[in-house]
Amino acid sequence: MAKKRIVVLYGGRADEHPISCVSVAGVLKAMDTERFEPIPVGITKAGQWIVGGEDPRSWDLTGESLPEVTVTPGARPVILDMARGADGFLVGDHADLEPGATPSAASGSLDSLGHIDAVLPVLHGPYGEDGTVQGLLEMMGVPYVGCGVFASAACMDKHFTKILLTAAGIPVAPGITLDARDYDASGEFAADGPSILAQVEAAGLKYPLFVKPSRAGSSFGVTKVEHEGDAAELAAAVFEASHHDWRVLVEQGIDAREVECAVLAARPGDKPMVSLPGEIVLDRPDDDQFYDFDSKYTDASASHVEVPAHLPADVLEHVREVAARAFVAVDGTGLSRVDSFVTADGEVMVNEINTMPGFTPISMYPKAWQASGIGYTELITRLIDGMLPR
């Protein structure tokens, strides 16, 4: 049987670019190459699609610099011909990547990457996990792994995720949404602090607060605000979040444990399967710590993963039930990681839904499935198989 040819997208224009690079390293090394022929296609931070660049299989987060897709001497641009559908992945000459060049201007011709059976977009954040790439592939008629356009877009935006979950009767953390375009950036929002504080007080939010961009991931732009009534501290946090998105959430901190479930519905229409819940346990002796970028990715001593989480069996089952409901509420398909807060009395609130969660071998999503009986390679196989014609 001929191998299925799978374009694996990685990198991208989002802040999460290096996390995508590390995720794809694990995916490419674990993919069943007896059944699939992976075709790695990197996307630079400038948005150029390339093949033939640096091999991502060796990338990790332990070096002096974070991994990045760059234009190397052997790189060639990937150009899409929408009308050709699954045969529309074309390759130009390296000269087409030079500044000022237009596709095929240097070569006058394009080569084909051949027929593509499906795309695995290992992309995190905007321009990859937000429905943009999904819509592009829908227009081309090319099957792809993961949530569709609506679920991807809705879950990328924490504001609208909360609206959908609330409508479905699923509890979320109290908070307000701000439009940072209304504030004076020249003064780093200092003059707007009293107005922002007044909105927080009117909403009755309790401290500490977490201020975060609505459409970003990997804890980029997130600040913990601890001093009640400090308008300057609050304004500075909103200003920091605004570097990543003009829509900013201010949420009440929840005194709870954060527990995460991996959800799998490989084929559209499948009933979602939910893994054993896992928990990120913070190890640094710092009462003010929260799960920031360093804790997640670069400081191995900061945290560890426990699957299943050390909670009573009935609470774990409730977390799984809420995760499945949340996945259905946003019209999820393929995969997602549902992050929840579990309070001391067993209440479960959904914090967010990641439609393309970190996919390194030590990331929560594959680790949760490993603990639930589905290994890393099998998980990748199931996801790809789910999008291929039967």
Active site residues: 16, 218, 363
Query: Is 211 assigned a ligand-binding role in the annotation?
Result: yes
| Cα gap 11→121, rounded to integer Å | 10
Query: Is 170 assigned a ligand-binding role in the annotation?
Result: no
| Cα gap 22→10, rounded to integer Å | 9
Q: Collapsing DSSP states into helix, strand and coil, what is residue 303?
A: strand
Query: Is 201 assigned a ligand-binding role in the annotation?
Result: no
CB atoms < 10 A from the CB of 4, how many?
17
Token code pair at residue 119: 């795309």
| Cα gap 3→103, rounded to integer Å | 30
Token code pair at residue 345: 């009395």
| Cα gap 86→105, rounded to integer Å | 24
Q: Are 339 and 364 in contact (CB under 8 A)?
A: no
| Cα gap 9→38, rounded to integer Å | 10
Query: Is 354 assigned a ligand-binding role in the annotation?
Result: yes
Query: Is 219 assigned a ligand-binding role in the annotation?
Result: yes
Query: Is 29 assigned a ligand-binding role in the annotation?
Result: no
Token code pair at residue 378: 């099998």
If we measure between CA atoms, which residue out of 155, 132, 159 comes closest to residue 323?
155
Query: Is 351 assigned a ligand-binding role in the annotation?
Result: yes
Query: Is 220 assigned a ligand-binding role in the annotation?
Result: no
If we measure between CA atoms, which residue out of 241, 207, 212 comes closest to residue 227?
207
Query: Is 192 assigned a ligand-binding role in the annotation?
Result: no
Query: Is 382 assigned a ligand-binding role in the annotation?
Result: no
* Alpha carbon distances (Å) from 312 to 134, 146, 309, 364: 39, 31, 9, 20
Query: Is 54 assigned a ligand-binding role in the annotation?
Result: no
Q: Which amino acid does the sequence have at 266? A: A
Query: Is 255 assigned a ligand-binding role in the annotation?
Result: yes
If we measure between CA atoms, which residue out of 347, 329, 124, 120 comes closest to residue 338?
329
Q: Is the peptide bond before 73 cis (omega within 30 degrees of 0)?
A: no
Query: Is 258 assigned a ligand-binding role in the annotation?
Result: yes
Query: Is 296 assigned a ligand-binding role in the annotation?
Result: no
Query: Is 339 assigned a ligand-binding role in the annotation?
Result: yes
CB atoms < 10 A from the CB of 349, how many?
18
| Cα gap 123→355, rounded to integer Å | 10
Residue carrying the six token digits 């913990």: 224
Query: Is 352 assigned a ligand-binding role in the annotation?
Result: yes
Question: Hey, which residues does 342 pair with through a beta bridge?
Answer: 257, 348
Residue carrying the six token digits 């699609």: 49
Query: Is 158 assigned a ligand-binding role in the annotation?
Result: yes
Which residues fall in the annotated binding site?
A: 158, 210-212, 218-219, 251-258, 339, 351-352, 354
Which residues fall in the annotated binding site for Mg(2+)?
A: 339, 352, 354
Which residues fall in the annotated binding site for ATP?
A: 158, 210-212, 218-219, 251-258, 351-352
